Structure 1
Amino acid sequence: MLSDADAAALYDLLNPWDAASYPSDAFYDGLVRAASDVLDVGCGTGSMLRHARETGHTGRLVGLDPDRAALDRARRRTDVEWVAGVAAEASWAGEFDLVTMVSHAFQCLVGDDELRASLTAIRAALREGGRFAFETRHPRARAWESWAAAEPSEVVDAAGRTLRTTYHLDSVVDDVVTLTETTTDPAGTVRRVDRSSLRFLDVPALNTFLNEAGFAIEAQYGDWHCGPVTGASREIVTIARPITLA
């Protein structure tokens, strides 16, 4: 079986941070470079912040995530602050110029209460004039259908094991999609099974949550090249700023 540490290493292997290859990474790299103090919510193994430090960012970099194995991997870089926890329980007050949620981490905020509490804490963490940047998959693109239909992805991990990953669509209930990810070896032996739920908010619902939490939309894009959100967009990329609540 794959341990949690193995799974974290596998995630890095399957999802390298590479601005030259991935426009999403380039988009966030630009925002991080322009900010003095950055909080990455749902940082996982910390690849974005590790890359920022490696490429010369000299300000404060903080990664927040509940996954201890992912944070253990992130902590190989000791000049970044790594904090175990979730956004809803965070208590920073006016400490950051930029808060991010990358790699669709925003979609892991499934329940209304968790989402509202998380947005409230993120707003509190920002300085006046700060920015909150994140992306969520556009529900009209129905990405979950392509995941379930895709051929298994295959990779050789650091231990020399060939691993295959497949996805099974368990349910679609309102705007919440639940999937099971199964990792096997070439013989078909199951090495790990993970089940997760993701929320797919459309633009009106998303912006309502943001407005209620005290955010104004600065910009919203349908792709990583800053194109408009349309019915054909696969992403909803959002930059929001805190406003003063009445």
Structure 2
Amino acid sequence: MRKGSRFGIAVAALALLTGAADPDNPSCPANPDFGPAVPMTLTPADRGGGRVLLAEGKIDASLPARLRKALEADETIGEVWIRSAGGDARAGNEAGKVIRSFPGMLTRIPSGWACFSACNFLFMGGDRRVVEPGGVFMVHMFTHTNQRDVIQETIAEGTNATAELIGEIEQSSAQLASDDNDFLIRMGVSRKLLTDVMYKQQALKTEGNPTTRYCLTQEEVRRYNVMPEERSL
């Protein structure tokens, strides 16, 4: 079967599991369930005969400390179930390291839930990781485009200020890329997830190509070791 045909089948299967596909990002559902648009809540719960921590909402700077406190408060928690639209990139990395500091902890994206941006790194902190069929692991290129207002104001201030800001953004972007690469190595995830998938997404929509996000298939989460084949549950 041709690669294009396999991709088409994967997109169709995703649409069946999670609803209509996003016309701008056809590998992804149109209405992904990222959970509440509030700072991430951490709720212990009993699911399927086990104790889990439901992690739902936006990732902010306070999450790593709150997450450690929640996991230390209940030693019976064996899984962290995650849905989030992302948030603070560095806090996502640090929170992922917190999860990894609890040996054997499993992270899970349940069917119908979605994990995007900084959430990817929170999820990859799991010593064991599961993306259920119908669960959405959504990636993009990490950028500083959320600083567009600041950039516009700086341009108005003059050439020197603009050059200084561009230098700061370049330095910060390089550091973030280095941090991401180091994180993937430490968590046992293939670096090709960055080079072959994340960094190949567009930072901004263009008239000819509006796609800025990509959702991995079940085959891809295994190929890049996002969900280790031999340890998936």
TM-score by length of 1: 0.34
More strand by share: 1
More helix by share: 2
TM-score by length of 2: 0.35
